[in-house]
């Protein structure tokens, strides 16, 4: 057998209908695989970004000279208390919003707490630990 006959036969096969179809299907399969791979990597990058930003929580600063209230982002694994965004002291604790007036109260775990602004009594504020886990990869 000559070296040129195999290459010549393959070239002739690719120029016929069956060869063109096979080459087209193989090329489209490679493109589809590359697209799936690229989209999967993009999803993982988004999950990593969300995990790095942490979760948004309500807080109350227990520093008597600060007494700040609001929202902040904390990493999923971090423990409380956190540094206060305003005074930078590590005295920010978890909070929750009053359902009537929106005032942010300290989440103490007590059976009931009265809002100092409107007087509404909140029963069982829920756990002081946040039950939401960080985003997971699939």
What digits encode the pLDDT tens for the residues 101-119?
Answer: 999 999 887 888 999 999 9
Biggest CA pair distance of the chain: 98
Q: Would you state the torsion angle of the CA atoms of residues 92, 98, 101, 105, taken in this order, to the nearest 10 degrees?
A: -30
- Residue 128, pLDDT above cutoff 80: no
- pLDDT tens by residue, 22-44: 888 898 999 998 888 777 776 67
pLDDT digits (tens, 9 = 90+) for 39-49: 777 667 777 77
Place of tokens 């080459």: 23
Query: How large is the average pLDDT for residues 133-138?
Result: 60
Give the whole-angstrom CA distance, residue 113 versus residue 104: 12
Q: Where are the domains of the chain?
A: 3-51, 54-123
Rounded CA-CA distance 87/69 in Å is 11
First and final C-alpha spacing in the chain:
52
Measure the CA–CA gap between 64 and 126, rounded to whole angstroms.
25
For 58, residues 6+ apart whose C-beta sits below 8 A from its C-beta are: 69, 70, 71, 94, 95, 96, 97, 104
């Amino acid at each position: 057998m000559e070296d040129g006959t195999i290459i010549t036969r393959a070239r002739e096969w690719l120029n016929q209908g069956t060869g063109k179809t096979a080459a087209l299907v193989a090329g489209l399969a490679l493109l589809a695989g590359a697209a799936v791979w690229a989209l999967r990597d993009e999803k993982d990058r988004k999950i990593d970004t969300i995990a790095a930003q942490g979760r948004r929580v309500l807080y109350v600063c227990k520093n008597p000279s600060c007494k700040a209230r609001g929202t902040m982002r904390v990493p999923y694994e971090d423990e409380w208390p956190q540094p206060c965004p305003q005074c930078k002291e590590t005295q920010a604790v978890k909070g929750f919003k009053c359902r009537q007036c929106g005032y942010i109260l300290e989440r103490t775990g007590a059976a009931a707490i009265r809002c100092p602004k409107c007087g509404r009594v909140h029963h069982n504020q829920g756990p002081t630990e946040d039950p939401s886990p960080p985003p997971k990869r699939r």
